[in-house]
Amino acid sequence: MMKKLLFLLLPLLLARPAAAQLLQPAVGAGTTFRYEFDLHGQHAAFELAIAGATDTLRLTWRIRGLAGGAYAVSPTAWQRANKLNFAQPTPGRTVRLPDDQTFMLLSKSAFAALVARQRYEYDHTVYELRADLATAPLLLAGRPLDVLHVVAQGDPTELWILNNPDFPVICQARHNPLGIDFVLTGIK
């Protein structure tokens, strides 16, 4: 009797899709994001680390493990910036970003707008949330990462943003008109 019941239940259990738990990494001072950058067809390993996150957000970076530098994101920018800084990093220096710019992450107010209205504006471009992550998730170590996928209105830019109101880090960029695409390959 037990064998018959097991024989009947086994196909049902195997046919049931596994509920994939989204990877929600803890992010804070000391967290390092590893990326693979595609710069006009050339590939480069890039690391971005949160070196400090008390008042000013201090982000350190390294390209291919060789050159490095830092960005300082002011408290005002971290809260309310509406532009991304895409200038080439300056090795050996800390670049202090203007109060309207962030680097590799959204401001907290832009992220809040995205969550509340399914859209936000950055660099005079409106980005709208797409509900397609179930069909094409961003995987990290084989697990789906908890990200929000947005697409720009008027150009083909797509971004995948970590679903974290304190650190809405951009995990992937595709079809960037500046020719700078990247994808997150690891978090430690």
Beta bridge partners of 151: 128, 158
Q: What is the pLDDT of residues 21-36, one digit of tens each?
A: 889 999 999 999 999 9
pTM confidence score: 0.86
Any idea which of 10-19, 72-81, 132-141 has the lowest mean pLDDT? 10-19
Tell me phi and psi for residue 163, to 5 degrees. Answer: -80, 75
- Considering Cα of 133, then 138, then 142, then 146, what sign does the dihedral take? negative
Q: What is the pLDDT of residues 87-118, one digit of tens each?
A: 878 899 999 999 999 999 999 999 999 999 99
Q: What is the model's pLDDT at position 13?
A: 39
Any idea which of 5-14, 132-141, 170-179 has the lowest mean pLDDT? 5-14
